Structures are given as structure tokens and as C-alpha cells.
Amino acid sequence: MKAAMTGVIIVGAGAMGAIYAALLHDRDPQGVAFLAGGERGERLRRNGVVVNGKPYQISVCPPDAVPAPAHLVMMAVKHHHLEQAIRDLAQAIGTDTTILSVMNGIDSEERLARCYGPEKVLYAIAVGMDAVRTDNRVNYRNQGKIVFGPGPNPVDGDRVKRVKELFDLAGIVSEVSADMLRHLWWKFMINVGINQASAVLRGSYGLFQTSPQARALMDAAMREVIELSRKAGVPLTEADLGRMHEVLETLNPDGKTSMLQDVEARQKTEVEMFAGKVIELGRRFGVPTPVNANLLLQIKAIEASYLPGETAARERTP
């Protein structure tokens, strides 16, 4: 029994988790499950997810009733749910389990590696997706792609090969990279810029495609990340900012960032992982970060308008 393995376990049923679960389910309905317990798990069992109009009743496994370790765990939760999610994974992780995080930020992989071993963890980013989630319904025009590979930790190349083969079979667009730290910082730069600017301006991707002022705010936040990246030894450049503009032009103008969707749904945002992390690194490296300091104040004020006091810790989870 110990040698038995299950297929793919996805932690988080937000936009990314739902899309990847749907694609994997289309290939093999028995090969994928959400990990969720309590009321959230019951809601997923009852309502399922609807992706581009197609309903899916994907298996839901409680954390304390995982039948066997998974071949692959995909982590797709919000930053403020990561600690609990790491604890919930205990029964899903075995010697041969590979863990891949598509979360925002630059530290989820390190935290997973500390708990379950760096040899199991692949680094990844999801870029170019323009999904919009409303309740259990997710709609997208561009799937984007997952860029993944080993980070600074040694990972057996067979793990990378197996994940790539699975993604290809399921129609999950992916690319293997040997420079994942740079990709991670590039995605962090993007999120710090457009996620936060969109939340403050209440603007869809179309606003940033057409408004020089909106794009200037976004760019100013991203340039602070560029300065920090140089100090961190993973140097980004203005050319990387230009690459982000190229991706932006491919997105559905009506699409929205995850942070704007959080604000519109009156949920906790990931501002601590974006502006908060920029400010923390700025202090460490002696780099001024006034744009992100201002964005942090504005987004925390927005949150306070609908999550006053202790209610901020009890936001509705996906």
C-alpha cells in the first residue's frame, strides 16, 4: 500500500486551480482531485467548478483522508493560506511526489522545500492567463503557459520530464526553463505592477492597454522591483519590463487581475506578498520603495473598508 500513488492533487480551487483541474480532468477524470476539507470541501463537492461554461464535478479529498501520496501536487492557494495548506499536504507527500507551486510571490517554493524536501520542489510561474472567476465559475480566453524547472535546489531531471509529459498530454501549455529564479522575479515584478495598480484604479487589462497614466503607475511599481532584483543577484532590466508590456497586449481587455477580483469580491488581497515584500527587501538592501509604500497604504485602506478589524482574518476562501 505504501508504494501506491495517486495522480494529481491540486490545492486551491481559484481561477488557476480550476483551469488546470479541468484540463487534467478532461484527460483522465480519475487522475485529479482537489485537496480541501471542512465547509470549503463540502462546497466544492456540492457545486463543482464551471470552466468556460462547462461544469466539472472533480473529486475532493479531505486532508486527513488522502488514500496515497500523489505523483504531482500543484499548489495554487493565496499567499495567506499557504501555511495551512502546507500542513494539509502531509498525507499527500511521499518520496516520489513532485511539488509544483503556481502561486504568486517569490518564497512559496522555499517554504515548501523546508517542509517536504528541496529535491521534490520544482519552481514555476504561470504567465499570460486572463481568467476571471465569479463564485465557482471561471472564464478565460488565454490559458497562458506554465514555465517551470529546477530552482537553486537539486532536482532529478526525471521529475521535470514526467511533469512536462503530463502537461503535454493534458493540453496544459508549458515550457521548461533552467533559469527559474529569474523567471520568478520577473513574474513578481509583473504582479507588483499590474495587480496592485489595477486594484487601486479598479481597472481591467484594457485600462492598462489604453491609458498611459495607468501604465505609468504600473511601470513605476515594477521599476522598484528591478532595482531590488539587482541587489538580490537576479538582475532584471528595462527589457524585462518591455516583455511584460508584450504579454499585456495579448490579454483579454475585459480580463482582470487576481487582486482586482479580490477587491471586487471584498476578500483579503495578497498585498503583503507584493508591496509588503518590496518594502521589506527595500529596507534590507537600502533601496527606496516609495511607490510600493503608497500602494500598500491605499490597498490596506481599501481592504479596511470591507474587512474591518478581526474580519480580515476570516475572509471567504476559494
Q: Could you read off the pLDDT of 198-228 as tens digits, one per residue?
A: 999 999 999 999 999 999 999 999 999 999 9
Q: Compute the radius of gyration of the chain from its Cα atoms.
A: 19
What is the band of 1 on the pLDDT scale with cuts at 50, 70, 90?
Answer: very low
- The identity of residue 252, as a single letter, is N
pLDDT at 3: 41
Strand order in the sheet with 98-101: 59-61, 32-35, 6-11, 70-75, 98-101, 121-127, 145-149, 174-176
Intervals of CATH 3.40.50.720 along the chain: 6-178
Grid coordinates belonging to 181: 529564479
What is the band of 282 on the pLDDT scale with cuts at 50, 70, 90?
Answer: very high
What is the band of 155 on the pLDDT scale with cuts at 50, 70, 90?
Answer: confident
Intervals of CATH 1.10.1040.10 along the chain: 182-314
> Residue 263 pLDDT more than 50?
yes
Q: What is the DSSP string of 264-282?
A: HTT----TIIIIIHHHHHH
- Give the rounded percent of residues in the chain with a pLDDT score beyond 90: 92
Place of cell 514555465: 147
Pick the CATH number of 182-314 from 3.20.20.70, 3.40.640.10, 1.10.1040.10, 3.40.50.1820: 1.10.1040.10
**CATH 3.40.50.720 given to domain 6-178:** yes
State the CB neighbour count (10 A cutoff) for residue 258: 22
Query: Residue 102 phi/psi, 5° resolution?
Result: -105, 20
Grid coordinates belonging to 146: 506554465
Please say whether the dihedral angle defined by the alpha carbons of residues 190, 195, 198 and 200, taken in this order, is positive or negative: negative
Cα distance between residue 294 and residue 220, in whole Å: 11
